[in-house]
Amino acid sequence: SLTAGIVGLPNVGKSTLFNAITQAGAESANYPFCTIDPNVGIVEVPDERLNHLTTLVKPKKTVPTAFEFTDIAGIVKGASKGEGLGNQFLSHIRQVDAICQVVRCFDDENITHVSGAINPIDDIEIINLELILADLETVNKRYQRVEKLAKQKDKEAVMEYEVLTKLKEAFENEKPARSIDFNEDQMKIVKGLHLLTSKPMLYVANVSEDDIVEPEANEHVKKVKEYAAKEDSEVIVISARIEEEISELDQEEKTMFLSELGIQESGLDQLIKASYSLLGLGTYFTAGEQEVRAWTFRKGMKAPQAAGIIHTDFEKGFIRAETVSYDDLVEAGSMTQARENGKVRLEGKDYIVQDGDIIHFRFNV
Ligand code: GDP
């Protein structure tokens, strides 16, 4: 399954956030297929639609879908040159699908900052530069060989040479690969390079408890947002301390606590949702008297593949997918009524599953 890695300089609040994630953690009994690794935290994906389906269908059990975060400690300046745990750090980043970069936006005299003062943009640039330098090395390793082949007019080499040149230029200007536009064919070449800076990036601005109600007033947050906008990245504002406290509460207490603070949704829930959509993930549902359940799929997946997420037999013996969209079901009020309205479709093997679909798979055993 896809995972988002949590990175950041020392003392920015990574461990505090990761503690919140593991404490809020999902019951692993529901997710036996998830990774068991101390550096991986499994959370449930909050979804209003699942709650509503539960009130409509009244099943014995409701199961949300899960998402994994990986804690990646150990970035320091010079990581791309092997400083500190540099190489290990970079190889861990290579394994994740998206990066959540925690940025310190809280002032606290008691907690030292690695560079002395709080400057989120400097911090971001330290980390991003290490990733860019590692990618530059990857590109340089191929460059000369491909250049030679390209001069001999080898068609594929010419195209790769173009891509590598573009990347090299971007990296030399300290720009990440994700900031460059490539066409579909070029994108295939970029994917093959397994670059660190082509992974989607989400900035997590960690503010103090006092700033969470009005994060816009925090100058550091403003700067992070400006920076992120330039490279089309998103920013989530959280207070890791508050998230750690919230993670110890049950659902009812959590709702009360949040409304006292005047916020709608916890930072962690926002982070889960944002990471999920950053990775191009969607949710479909299965709904029966026994169980209403949410399932994660990659957008663009066809029905048999999506069925395979539940069980490989569902994919192998796939016949059809009885499908109703969430909005149609809610409008009808019940599955029976949705059927009468003609809203339950019989979809075949080429159907591209949509976010919010409620599906009953028919399959041969
Ligand atoms: P890490 O090195 O990035 O893992 O950072 P930690 O999570 O260990 O946090 C470093 C210090 O900052 C700890 O003393 C935390 O309690 C503190 N800290 C983390 N988040 C916040 C926050 O939101 N507000 C304040 N005031 N302190 C925080």
Q: What confidence tier does 256 reach under pLDDT thresholds 50, 70, 90?
A: very high
Q: What confidence tier does 306 reach under pLDDT thresholds 50, 70, 90?
A: very high
**CATH 3.40.50.620: does it fit domain 3-46+63-116+200-278?**
no
What is the arrangement of strands in the sheet containing 98-104, beginning at the earlier edge strand?
Answer: 40-44, 66-71, 3-7, 98-104, 201-206, 234-238
Judge whether 130 and 77 are in contact, CB under 8 Å: yes
Beta pairing class for 318-325 and 345-347 = antiparallel
| CB contact set of 244 (below 8 Å; sequence gap of 6+) | 16, 17, 19, 20, 23
> What are φ and ψ of residue 175, in 5° steps?
-110, 140
The domain 300-363 is placed in CATH, from the list 3.40.50.300, 3.10.20.30, 3.30.420.40, 2.40.50.1020, at: 3.10.20.30
Q: Which residues of 229-256 are buried (b: 16+ CB within 10 A; e: fewer)?
A: eeeebbbbbbbbbbbbebbebeeeebee
Give percent of the chain with pLDDT exceeding 70. Answer: 94
Q: Where in the chain is the domain with CATH 3.10.20.30?
A: 300-363
pLDDT over 90 (residue 216):
no
Section 356-360 average pLDDT: 97
Whole-complex ipTM: 0.94
Q: What confidence tier does 79 reach under pLDDT thresholds 50, 70, 90?
A: low
pLDDT over 90 (residue 267):
yes
Tracing tokens 């994917």 back to the chain, one arrives at 191
Measured from the Cβ of residue 57, the count of other Cβ atoms closer than 10 Å reads: 18
Q: Is the CB of 19 under 6 A from ligand 1?
A: no
pLDDT at residue number 217: 87
pLDDT over 60 (residue 84):
no
**In angstroms, how far is the first alpha carbon of the chain from the final one?**
26
Q: Where in the chain is the domain with CATH 3.40.50.300?
A: 3-46+63-116+200-278
Q: Is the CB of 15 under 6 A from ligand 1?
A: yes
Judge whether 268 and 22 are in contact, CB under 8 Å: no
pLDDT over 70 (residue 290):
yes
Q: Is the CB of 12 under 6 A from ligand 1?
A: yes
Q: Is the CB of 267 under 6 A from ligand 1?
A: no
Give CA–CA dist 30/19, Å, rounded. Answer: 21
Q: Is the CB of 13 under 6 A from ligand 1?
A: yes
Dist. CA 108 → ligand 1 center (Å): 9
pLDDT at residue number 272: 95
Dist. CA 11 → ligand 1 center (Å): 6
| CB contact set of 187 (below 8 Å; sequence gap of 6+) | none
Instruction: Kindly report, residue by residue over 89-129, the tens digit of the pLDDT.
Output: 888 899 999 999 999 999 877 777 767 778 999 999 999 99
Q: Is the CB of 10 under 6 A from ligand 1?
A: yes
CATH of domain 127-192: 1.10.150.300
Residue of the CA atom closest to atom 17 of ligand 1: 13
Residue of the CA atom closest to atom 24 of ligand 1: 208
Q: Where in the chain is the domain with CATH 1.10.150.300?
A: 127-192
Q: What confidence tier does 231 reach under pLDDT thresholds 50, 70, 90?
A: confident
DSSP state of 109: T
SS3 category, 21? helix
DSSP state of 290: S
pLDDT at residue number 76: 62
Please state the pTM of the whole predicted model. 0.88
Given CA atoms 117, 120, 126, 130 in this order, what sign does their dihedral have? positive
Instruction: Kindly report, residue by residue over 316-331, the tens digit of the pLDDT.
Output: 999 999 999 999 999 9
Binding site residue list for ATP: 11-16
Dist. CA 18 → ligand 1 center (Å): 11
| CB contact set of 65 (below 8 Å; sequence gap of 6+) | 44, 45, 47, 283, 293, 294, 295, 296
pLDDT at residue number 91: 86
Q: Is the CB of 3 under 6 A from ligand 1?
A: no
pLDDT at residue number 85: 56
pLDDT at residue number 86: 63
Residue of the CA atom closest to atom 14 of ligand 1: 111
The atom number, within ligand 1, closest to the CA of 238 reads 23
